[in-house]
């Protein structure tokens, strides 16, 4: 297996008693290869962070999970017992860079004490100062408390924590939330530097500009499904799916043209697909008069690039 991480039809549903079922992730299939930055992009609420939580075994008790997610070496993440995830995966094979790093850190302890504790717990050979320098942080800043760190500093501490055990995969879940544009650039540039010959980055973001800056590959997610995936340069310059085209059109260089309407509720996806054929067609500029989807029913695929069939998108 050349991939560091291989997802095959990963699906997650949340049961809300007798009231409803949230279809958070549907049949996600991805390949993460060494030296690559795969950006999983889409509007907030489409299921990106749920996918990340599934990989780390951090879903709540009402989650139903199916499919496979296999790390190089053979660990199947979705069926692995908690002992394996805690002792072999989290922090060791998969390093997490969380959303809002400053609130992720313990507020009453210095950054150094938290980094040293992580080094000790994972049995790593590197030192705290070495890790700080590796992520472009002055070692003296490690002696500050989280509230004394800027957003960019806190994010670098979070990246240093993720790199302690030199994991195969860096999973960055919305790591640029709340940062201004210069700090966004610095953060994603650091993540891109972490994608070496034996390591890869899965960057989960709603910031398409940040993804465009560093991603080698892109997967576009809408209403729980990945609707398009492939090399970043191709997907972001010649989108095949109307949703991808709409995201690009909403950027400044795309003319600030937002996609009309709102994403559907994840509790309504089964009904929408039954009635309309495609969960995007009610927002799709290619569908006249909000008619049921009549898109190409065949999966379009070429090399490493593909777009979801219609229906459903």
The answer on pLDDT for 247 being more than 60 is yes
174 phi-psi bin (left φ>0, alpha ψ -120 to 50, beta other): left
d(CA 268, CA 275): 11
Q: Is residue 130 part of a domain?
A: no
Q: Is residue 11 part of a domain?
A: yes
pLDDT for the residue 103: 85
Q: Is residue 291 part of a domain?
A: yes
Pairing of strands 37-41, 20-32: unpaired
Under 8 Å between Cβ of 38 and 200: yes
Number of domains in the chain: 1
Q: Is residue 247 part of a domain?
A: yes
pLDDT for the residue 310: 55
- CATH number of the CATH domain containing 175: 3.40.50.300
DSSP secondary structure letter of residue 87: I
pLDDT for the residue 290: 52
Under 8 Å between Cβ of 45 and 263: yes
- Percentages helix, strand, coil for the chain, rounded to the nearest 5? 35, 25, 40
The answer on pLDDT for 85 being more than 50 is yes
Q: Is residue 104 part of a domain?
A: no
User: pLDDT of 17-64, one tens digit each?
Assistant: 888 999 999 999 999 999 999 999 999 999 999 999 999 999 999 999
pTM here is 0.93
pLDDT for the residue 281: 83
What are the distances in angstroms from CA 28 to CA 38, 40, 219, 299? 14, 11, 10, 15
- Other C-beta atoms within 10 Å of 297: how many? 10
Q: Is residue 125 part of a domain?
A: no
């Amino acid at each position: 297996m050349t991939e560091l991480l291989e997802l095959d039809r990963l699906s997650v549903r949340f049961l809300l008693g007798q009231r409803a079922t949230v279809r958070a992730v549907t049949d996600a299939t991805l390949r993460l290869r060494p030296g690559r930055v795969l950006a999983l992009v889409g509007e907030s609420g489409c299921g990106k962070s749920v996918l990340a939580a599934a990989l780390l075994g951090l879903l709540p008790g009402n989650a139903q999970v199916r499919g496979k997610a296999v790390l190089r070496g053979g660990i199947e993440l979705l069926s692995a017992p908690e002992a394996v995830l805690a002792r072999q995966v989290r922090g060791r094979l998969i390093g997490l860079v969380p959303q809002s790093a400053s609130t992720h850190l313990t507020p009453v302890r210095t950054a150094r004490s938290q980094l040293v504790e992580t080094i000790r717990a994972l049995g790593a050979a590197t030192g705290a100062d070495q890790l700080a320098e590796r992520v472009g942080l002055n070692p003296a800043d490690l002696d500050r408390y989280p509230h004394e760190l800027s957003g960019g500093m806190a994010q670098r501490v979070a990246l240093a924590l993720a790199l302690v055990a030199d994991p195969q995969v860096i999973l960055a879940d919305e790591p640029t939330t709340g940062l201004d544009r210069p700090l966004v650039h610095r953060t994603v540039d650091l993540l891109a530097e972490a994608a070496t010959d034996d390591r890869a980055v899965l960057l989960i973001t709603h910031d398409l500009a940040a993804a465009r800056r560093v991603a080698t590959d892109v997967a576009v997610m809408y209403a729980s499904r990945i609707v398009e995936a492939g090399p970043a340069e191709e997907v972001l310059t010649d989108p095949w799916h109307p949703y991808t085209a709409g995201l690009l059109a909403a950027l400044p260089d795309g003319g600030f043209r937002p996609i009309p309407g709102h994403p559907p509720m994840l509790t309504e996806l089964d009904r929408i697909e039954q009635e309309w054929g495609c969960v995007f067609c009610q927002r799709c500029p290619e569908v006249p008069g909000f008619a049921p989807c009549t898109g190409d029913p065949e999966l379009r695929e070429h090399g490493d690039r593909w777009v979801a069939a219609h229906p459903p998108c």
